[in-house]
Structure 1
Amino acid sequence: MPQSVREIMNTGLVCVPPDASLVDAAREMRDKGIGDVLVVEDGRLRGILTDRDIVVRCVAEDKPLRDTKVGEACSENVSCLKPDDDADRAVEMMRAMAVRRLPVCEDDRPVGVLSLGDLARERDPHSALADISSAPRNT
């Protein structure tokens, strides 16, 4: 039977406002052992910021990390999954958009995040990606 996104998604959301500094967002990622934060304003998803976004859009461009706001660096107009979407749809979307994680929203409000690692652990638990995704985080 096909699995729904709801069965696989991570509900431990880490959200920051668009006016948070990149340093604050990076510290949240470090402290929580994650690679992204959701950018939320008035309870609604505005974007997603990944550790790669910080490096490519900010560090490589020599932007001042303490002064640059999350809203200036995040990916906006993010495609979202719905909790009742099929996991196969999530795979198709990730492949088509070349992304590793997708927010899960109900009425533009984030309720979860689904990552490639989550899918690997659930659908192919003996794969290298599932092993890596299940390993304790580096600190």
Structure 2
Amino acid sequence: MKTLQQILNNKHNQGIISIAPSRPVYDALVILAEYEIGALAVIKDGNLVGIFSERDYAREIILQGRSSKSTLISEVMTDKVITANPADLVESAMNTMLEKRIRHLPVVENGKMLGMLSIGDVLKETIDYQQELIRQLESYIHS
């Protein structure tokens, strides 16, 4: 099974898409739509300080009747960020995401964010890995 670093290396690298905590939520929504993603890293002074996701928007803006133009990211972001190490295996990331009920997992090494994986990234890699195992087993059986 691959490491998270291997998955990050194979992703179409757009760089780390992020937003500052001092920006309005509306700006984050524009970025999410532009890149067709579900979450943004919240970066302050080069450090990961939170994540802002569509889930945060739904729960903290829509359901609370707040304005996305006047509410700051820092007010509604998830600030208890669960991260992974680039050397972690995909299976470990999948387990973390399922146990913690999260859809986005920042990969961090020595305090520096290397990238973000979605549950879709991890699921795709898991399926690819299982299909390769099946192919190898079928090859072994038929030889």
Give the TM-score, by structure 2 length.
0.82
Task: Give the superposition deviation at 1:110.
Answer: 1.3
Q: Within 5 Å, which residues of 2 pair with 1:1-139?
A: 2-9=1-8, 10=11, 11=13, 12-125=15-128
SS in 2 for 1:45: strand
After superposition, what is the alpha-carbon deviation per residue over 1:39-64, rounded to whole angstroms, capped at 9, x for unaligned?
A: 00011100000012111111110112
Which segments of 5 or more consecutive residues in structure 2 lack a partner in the other structure?
A: 129-143
Structure 1 or 2: larger helix share? 2
Q: CA RMSD in A?
A: 1.8
After superposition, what is the alpha-carbon deviation per residue over 1:41-89, rounded to whole angstroms, capped at 9, x for unaligned?
A: 0111000000121111111101121110001111012110011111111
Task: Give the superposition deviation at 1:109.
Answer: 2.1
CA contact (8 A) 2:94 2:123 kept: no
**Based on CA coordinates, which of the two structures has the bigger radius of gyration?**
2
Number of equivalences = 126
Structure 1 range deviating more: 48-57 or 105-114:
105-114
Which segments of 5 or more consecutive residues in structure 1 lack a partner in the other structure?
A: 126-139
SS in 2 for 1:76: coil
Give the TM-score, by structure 1 length.
0.84
Give, as a single letter, the amino acid of the residue that structure 1 aligns with 2:121: D
